[in-house]
Amino acid sequence: MKISKLFTSTTLLTSIVLLASTFITPALAAGHTHNSWRAPGDLDSWASIFILIASLMVAAFVNGRESRTRIIGTWLAALGCFGVVAWFGVYAIDTLDNPREHVLPVDAAKPILLQAQMLIAFVVGLALLVVARWQARRTDRLDIPTHNTPDNYGKVSRILHWTIAILIILLVPMGIFATMIPEGTSFRGYYYVTHKSLGFSVLILVFARLAWNIWGSRRPALATELKLWERRLAHTMHILLYVLMIGLPISGFMMSDFGGASSHFFFWDITPFFEKSIPTRDILGLMHKVVLPYLLYIFLGTHILGALKHQFIDKHENALRRMVS
């Protein structure tokens, strides 16, 4: 099977950069030592790298040129969904019976919220298996340009979009679970290292996508089939999603910083920049753990439902194909 140039140019380059960072970033962090909140052998950082590379691989494969490549991408996406469900059943479910003491009233909803997300992951995994079966009937080759076209997104935009989407979908349950782990639990810090490393990765990728849209290749115009109010709503939704994708990692970083806790970017521990301030930390914590996540649920859900509506109800044949093959 031929591996598409899309996968070769994107995944291999990213792998080299990330693997190089395992040696470069410890050298940049003066006085770097293994901290007690890290997993033995920096397994949490290695897990973060694996998740990032896997996300890039799925994003590249589902937009591959060859039909077989796209099928593999769909299977990998389904496997990821079932993997999250398996993680919940094996590692996370015990914490639901003995969670950390509630800090905010909404913390009581976290077990139900986490269970709902696992159910959604399972259903999406099944749906992806159906999609893979449908893809198996197709043998067409797709020549997706690197740059955006007036009607569709190019390879770069598609890879960035789906990599960011996959990481956010993983970060949400991971963040909820991390805050449920009781204080003093040995593995509590491991989840925070992974969560913060991937959060920084999302922030970098979002800025990369913005730079690409501004200087590299302009976004395609909204579909002409959309009504005026739908176009305005879609434009507003895109702006709000960008605000959330930037606001969530920044608020998380600032919350940790004002709380006196280090942030983590793979093997690099970032000591706080600001003087510790519990009131400021609590305000940022409210934004990062409550306000912004629930807004993300609303806007992301609306974004997904809107795309499905245009594709299956309004019968806009190009609605989903603009961003995924």
What confidence tens digit (pLDDT) does each residue in 160-213 have? 999 999 999 899 888 888 888 888 787 888 888 899 999 999 999 999 999 998
Q: What contacts 79, CB < 8 A, 6 or more positions away? A: 125
pLDDT over 70 at 75, yes or no: yes
The total of other beta-carbon atoms located within 10 Å of residue 318's CB is 12
Cα separation, 283 vs 159, whole angstroms: 34
Q: Mean pLDDT across the chain, nearest whole number? A: 80
Q: What does the pLDDT average to over 30-57? A: 77
pLDDT over 60 at 242, yes or no: yes
Contact (CB, 8 A) for 202 and 164: yes
Q: What does the pLDDT average to over 12-25? A: 42
Q: Give the pLDDT confidence score for residue 146 in this predicted structure.
A: 82
pLDDT over 60 at 283, yes or no: yes
Per-residue pLDDT band at 52 (split at 50, 70, 90): very high
Angle, helices 292-308/228-258, rounded to nearest 10 degrees: 150
Per-residue pLDDT band at 306 (split at 50, 70, 90): confident
Q: Give the pLDDT confidence score for residue 35 in this predicted structure.
A: 56
**Cβ-defined contacts of 241-246 (< 8 Å, 24+):** 241/299, 241/300, 241/303, 242/206, 242/210, 244/292, 244/295, 244/296, 244/299, 245/164, 245/168, 245/202, 245/203, 245/206, 246/203, 246/206, 246/207
Per-residue pLDDT band at 317 (split at 50, 70, 90): low
Q: Give the pLDDT confidence score for residue 125 in this predicted structure.
A: 92
Percent of the chain with pLDDT over 90: 22
Dig out the tokens for 100 from the structure: 């950390």
Question: Which whole-number Å values give the CA distances from 143 to 138, 140, 146, in the listed order?
Answer: 15, 10, 9
Dig out the tokens for 223 from the structure: 């579909």
Residue with tokens 């439902």: 305
Better-predicted residue by pLDDT, 87 or 223: 87
pLDDT over 50 at 42, yes or no: yes
Q: Give the pLDDT confidence score for residue 104 in this predicted structure.
A: 75
Per-residue pLDDT band at 18 (split at 50, 70, 90): very low
Per-residue pLDDT band at 318 (split at 50, 70, 90): low
Residues forming a β-bridge with 269: 264
SS3 assignment, position 136? coil
Percent of the chain with pLDDT over 70: 83
pLDDT over 80 at 226, yes or no: no
Highest mean pLDDT among 216-230, 259-273, 295-309: 259-273
pLDDT over 80 at 32, yes or no: no
Cα separation, 231 vs 186, whole angstroms: 49
Residue boundaries of the structural domains of the chain: 5-313
Cα separation, 63 vs 302, whole angstroms: 24
Q: Give the pLDDT confidence score for residue 218 in this predicted structure.
A: 83
pLDDT over 70 at 10, yes or no: no
Q: What does the pLDDT average to over 146-167? A: 88
Q: Give the pLDDT confidence score for residue 109 in this predicted structure.
A: 82
